Every structure is written in C-alpha cells, then in structure tokens.
C-alpha cells in the first residue's frame, strides 16, 4: 500500500490520528464538560492529544526499543502502551472545561462516564494505528501514541 509510505503515509497517519482525536475530544467536551464553544475546545484538545502523544512517544521510546530488540513489541503495544494511552486521555479529560480540577479522578477516570470516555479514547488511538498495523505489521521505527 503505497499511500501508507513516505510523506503521503505520514500525512495519512497524522490525519487519522488528528481526526480521531478531535472527534473524540469533541465528544468528551459535549459529554463530560460545559462550554459554549464545544467545537473549538474539541479541536484544541484534539491537537493537544496529538502533541501529548508525540511527547510520551519520545519518553517511552527506550522501553519500546527494548521491546523491539527482544521481540516483545506486541506485548508492549497491547499492555504498556494501553496504560500510557489511558493517562494521555486522562490529561485531555482533565483539560475539559467544566470538570473538576485536574487531580480529581486522573488515575481512575473520575466517574463511570469518564472511564467509558477514556477507554473508548484508548480504542480510538488503536484504531488510528490499524491501517498501518494491517499493512506493515508492528512498527519498527515509528512509535504509535
């Protein structure tokens, strides 16, 4: 699949990630928060989620490299990365206007709604990776976050 390679592949990857993150952030703003401008807030939070993913990707890169070198990338991808993504979405949840302060429920999701929203957010993160996983298998240089 040539459209998943090179510059076009990067654009598709970023588009899938950003699109999913913006849509799911908007859902979170509507479902969990209170604001008069949910579209703008959803857009900003989606961009923030993408940036948080890049930063945490750099932070967890050494662990990912160990997983790659030992042949345990699927274990890393479906366990450690799931936890990382839970906390990435937790940071976004904490930024939703109209919610309790950032420390409230950061680990647990705060409420049943918060946990459901965050768990689906983790799935959104994985779904954005799906075309690349199906076409190329597990990453050998790209850290998905």
Query: pTM of the entire structure?
Result: 0.86
Whether residue 103 is predicted with pLDDT greater than 70 in this model: the reply is no
Q: How far is CA 28 from the centre of its chain?
A: 13
Task: Give the pLDDT confidence of 60-85 residue by residue, as tens digits.
Answer: 888 888 888 888 888 888 898 899 99
Distance in Å from the first CA to the final CA of the chain: 22
Say if CB 4 and CB 131 are below 8 A apart.
yes
The whole-angstrom separation of Cα 115 and Cα 118 is 5
How is the chain split into domains, by residue range?
2-136
Whether residue 90 is predicted with pLDDT greater than 60 in this model: the reply is yes
Task: Give the pLDDT confidence of 12-51 residue by residue, as tens digits.
Answer: 888 989 999 999 999 999 999 988 999 999 999 999 999 9
């Amino acid at each position: 699949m040539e459209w998943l390679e090179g510059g076009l592949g990067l654009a598709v990857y970023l588009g899938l990630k950003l699109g999913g993150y913006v849509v799911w952030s908007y859902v979170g703003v509507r479902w969990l928060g209170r604001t008069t401008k949910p579209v703008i807030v959803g857009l900003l939070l989606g961009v923030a989620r993408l940036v948080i993913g890049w930063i945490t990707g750099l932070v967890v890169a050494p662990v990912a490299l160990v997983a790659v070198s030992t042949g345990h990338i699927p274990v890393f991808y479906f366990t450690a990365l799931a936890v990382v993504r839970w906390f990435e979405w937790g940071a976004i949840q904490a930024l939703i206007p109209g919610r309790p302060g950032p420390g409230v429920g950061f680990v647990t999701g705060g409420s049943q709604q918060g946990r459901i929203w965050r768990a689906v957010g983790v799935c959104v993160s994985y779904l954005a990776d799906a075309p690349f996983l199906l076409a190329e298998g597990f990453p050998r240089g790209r850290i998905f976050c």
